[in-house]
């Protein structure tokens, strides 16, 4: 459970965010290819600097590797292993004040923050890493009546250059064209509505220096529903992908869907699925 907060927000620049709400609300609802907005300078500068300084190093023991056809990245979903500065930011993103801001921005009421980081948390992608275009899983894995509604991605890169790649691509529902990109600049936040066709990702391998990485904090917000429809992460191939590549993406997606069903039913860990997906990835590269 998230520790109780007894003070007003100190890290998130709520004065700036709320002052911009009239413009931001209209921009969010009218954005294409799905409702979203890019917000800069979300944290006060000292808080951003502390979060960057506290971000785990590339060789930190608590990173969990995801290495298969559809993604090559690292994740840490255990806030109790994070630096205090990062825990504090996550707590403020779960605060009633920030949740109320998201509700007004997005028009979605009764949002539930998730400090358990189901699928969220700290993400790191190193040189050569990627995340294929996808729409996210639809329900919480332990609260299956929670429907996933909002994603926030806070980029924690002190330095990032366009020629390193890593721009988040936003694709249309038919997967015919990329309709927008977001550069992962430091202290920038992307907020978007999660749906079955909110396709996004950074599918090309990063070209950043070996000692650099694309770093972010992802948090998800849910609403409680009487009934929900379970959907696993839905990876998609871009039109220009080769036939072999499209087949590999589809096969990996099928394995992930089966795993998602088993995980929900049996409550098993992610490790077994990672091994299967990694094996599938190796086989696809041999073709």
pLDDT at 279: 59
First-to-last CA distance in the chain? 46
pLDDT at 143: 85
pLDDT at 199: 98
- Tokens standing for residue 285: 């590269």
DSSP string, 45-67: HHHHHHHHHHSPPTT-TT-EEEE
pLDDT at 5: 40
Element (H, E) at 231: none
Segments making up each domain of the chain, as ranges: 14-239
Q: What is the pLDDT of residues 11-25, one digit of tens each?
A: 999 999 999 999 999
CB count within 10 Å of CB 176 equals 10
pLDDT at 13: 96
Interior angle at CA 238, CA 235 and CA 241, nearest 5: 110
Q: Is this structure's pTM higher than 0.85?
A: yes
CATH architecture of the domain 14-239 equals: Sandwich (2.60)
Greatest C-alpha distance within the chain: 57
Low-confidence ranges of the chain (pLDDT < 70): 1-7, 263-287
pLDDT at 282: 57
pLDDT at 8: 74
Element (H, E) at 97: helix 96-106
């Amino acid at each position: 459970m998230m520790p109780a907060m007894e003070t007003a927000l100190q890290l998130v620049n709520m004065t700036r965010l709320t002052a911009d709400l009239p413009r931001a609300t209209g921009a969010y609802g009218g954005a294409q290819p799905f409702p979203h907005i890019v917000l800069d300078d979300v944290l006060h500068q000292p808080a951003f600097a502390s979060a960057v300084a506290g971000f785990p190093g590339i060789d930190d023991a608590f990173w969990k590797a995801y290495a298969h056809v559809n993604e090559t990245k690292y994740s840490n979903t255990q806030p109790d292993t994070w630096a205090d500065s990062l825990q504090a930011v996550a707590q403020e993103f779960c605060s009633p004040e920030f949740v109320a801001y998201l509700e007004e921005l997005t028009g979605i009421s009764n949002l539930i923050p998730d400090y358990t980081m189901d699928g969220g948390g700290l993400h790191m992608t190193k040189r050569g890493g990627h995340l294929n275009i996808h729409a996210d899983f639809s329900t919480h894995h332990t609260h299956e009546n929670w429907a996933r509604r909002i994603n926030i991605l806070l980029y924690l890169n002190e330095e990032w250059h366009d020629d390193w790649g890593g721009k988040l691509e936003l694709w249309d529902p038919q997967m015919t064209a990329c309709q927008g990109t977001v550069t992962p600049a430091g202290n920038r936040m992307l907020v978007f509505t999660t749906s079955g066709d909110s396709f996004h990702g950074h599918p090309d391998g990063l070209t950043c220096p070996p000692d650099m990485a694309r770093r972010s904090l992802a948090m998800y917000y849910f609403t409680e529903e009487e009934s929900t429809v379970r959907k696993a992460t839905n990876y998609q191939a871009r039109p220009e992908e080769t036939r072999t590549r499209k087949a590999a993406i589809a096969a990996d997606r099928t394995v992930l869907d089966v795993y998602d069903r088993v995980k929900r039913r049996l409550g098993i860990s992610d490790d077994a699925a990672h091994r299967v997906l990694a094996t599938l990835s190796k086989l696809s590269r041999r073709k």
